């Protein structure tokens, strides 16, 4: 009910939640002020850090954006690493993501990033995670921080904020009366905005901050247990298909399936980073999931599982813009512009 209020405001609930939002604003504001005044100190890593984050809760597309940046930055000849909190994983101390790790240990997103071929470190303390990553891979050209916009102890060279083109900033209120972790004015101090999807909702106009658009393109369905087996939506015809999603905004995934022409007999939404069990899997001829959920479900039962990968397309070229802003050079020593 509270989340629905964020995007379809109910006046009585706004009044009820306002004191809690005021308390949240006070506590978070004092923390930010402490960093600005130097009472709390930031720590800088030995290579540039780019934070990919948001100011509102809920899925906005940070994971596909990070995966796209990994691929595009590598294509420019840059060595990229990723640090992440590892939300949903049991690991508490900073650690590297290694072959054989599971999503229950390191989190679903870090596992996806590692599968893309880059070194990844997780930890609640992103500074410690970054230091560990650089100790193991000292030649990195830059580090992408998955989320962490509000992790102010980590000094950053660029901040990228992702916005949902449809939902925008909701009712514009801070948690819990609204979806915002920080006020909309925070956007004036970031490096760039990335708008995911067509901007059909109210989006803030931020003077002087570059804006990039992101479109998610669906690939072929692949069988989780046998990734070489591929399907199109039409290939599921005549089967009982159930779609599951444990992501921040599952409706986007279900809408994508419908746009591809896949008729689902049921759609099941779970909380973001949901720890799936066998009991969550209904009887069906085919279960269709996101790649983020697939890494968690693989160890449970992948006999009927099909995953749909998506690729983020950025316009203009965000990876090249990042490299130019950081004055990075490719493997041949040429400055990227």
DSSP state of 224: S
Q: Which of 191, 219, 229, 185 is nearest to 205 (CA)?
A: 185
User: Is 191 known as a binding-site position?
Assistant: no
Residue 62 is labelled as binding a ligand = yes
161 is in an annotated binding site: no
54 known ligand binder: no
Distance separating alpha carbons of residues 155 and 304, to the nearest angstrom: 44
Residue 223 near residue 306, CB atoms below 8 Å? yes
For tokens 């159930």, name the residue. 242
Beta strand pairing call for 221-223 and 230-231: antiparallel
| Location of structure tokens 């039962």 | 301
Any known ligand binding at 256? Answer: no
User: In angstroms, rounded to a whole number, what is the distance separating the alpha carbons of residues 3 and 25?
Assistant: 18
Q: How far is CA 180 from CA 25, 80, 163, 184, in A?
A: 10, 30, 11, 8
Write the DSSP assignment of 4-68 as a string of letters.
HHHHS--HHHHHHHHHHHHHHHHHHHHHHHHHHTTSS--B--SS-EEEEE-SBSS--SHHHHHHH
Is 61 annotated to bind a ligand? Reply is yes
Confirm or deny that 59 is annotated as ligand binding.
Answer: yes
DSSP states of 298-319 as a string? TTT--SSEEEE-EEEEEES-HH
Q: Does 57 appear as a known binding residue? A: yes
Q: Which two tokens stand for residue 242?
A: 């159930």
Q: Which residue has the tokens 């640090």?
A: 83
Q: Can you say which residues are annotated as belonging to the binding site?
A: 56-63
Q: Can you say which residues are annotated as belonging to the binding site for ATP?
A: 56-63
């Amino acid at each position: 009910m509270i989340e629905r209020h964020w995007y379809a405001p109910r006046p009585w609930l706004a009044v009820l939640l306002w004191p809690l939002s005021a308390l949240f604003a006070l506590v978070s504001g004092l923390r930010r002020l402490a960093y600005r005044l130097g009472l709390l100190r930031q720590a800088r890593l030995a290579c540039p850090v780019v934070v990919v984050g948001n100011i509102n809760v809920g899925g906005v597309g940070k994971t596909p954006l990070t995966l796209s940046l990994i691929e595009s930055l590598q294509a420019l000849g840059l060595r990229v690493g990723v640090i992440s909190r590892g939300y949903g994983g049991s690991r508490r101390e900073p650690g590297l993501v290694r072959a054989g790790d599971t999503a229950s240990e390191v989190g679903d997103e870090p596992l996806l990033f590692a599968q893309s071929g880059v070194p990844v470190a997780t930890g609640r303390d992103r500074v410690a995670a970054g230091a560990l990553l650089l100790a193991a891979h000292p030649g990195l050209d830059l580090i992408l921080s998955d989320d962490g916009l509000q992790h102010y102890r980590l000094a950053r060279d660029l901040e990228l904020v992702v916005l949902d083109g449809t939902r925008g900033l909701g009712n514009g209120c801070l948690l819990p009366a609204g979806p915002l972790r920080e006020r909309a004015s925070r956007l004036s101090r970031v490096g760039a905005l990335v708008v995911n999807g067509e901007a059909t909702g109210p989006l803030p106009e931020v003077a002087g901050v570059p804006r990039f658009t992101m479109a998610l393109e669906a690939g072929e369905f692949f069988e989780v247990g046998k990734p070489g087996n591929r399907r199109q939506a039409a290939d599921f015809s005549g089967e009982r298909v159930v779609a599951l999603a444990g992501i921040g905004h599952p409706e986007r995934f279900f809408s994508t399936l419908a746009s591809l022409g896949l008729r689902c007999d049921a759609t099941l939404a779970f909380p973001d980073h949901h720890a799936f069990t066998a009991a969550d899997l209904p009887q069906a001829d085919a279960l269709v999931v996101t790649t983020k959920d697939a890494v968690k479900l693989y160890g449970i039962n992948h006999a009927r599982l099909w995953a749909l990968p998506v690729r983020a397309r950025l316009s203009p070229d965000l990876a090249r813009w990042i490299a130019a802003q950081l004055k990075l050079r490719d493997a041949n020593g040429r400055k990227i512009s």
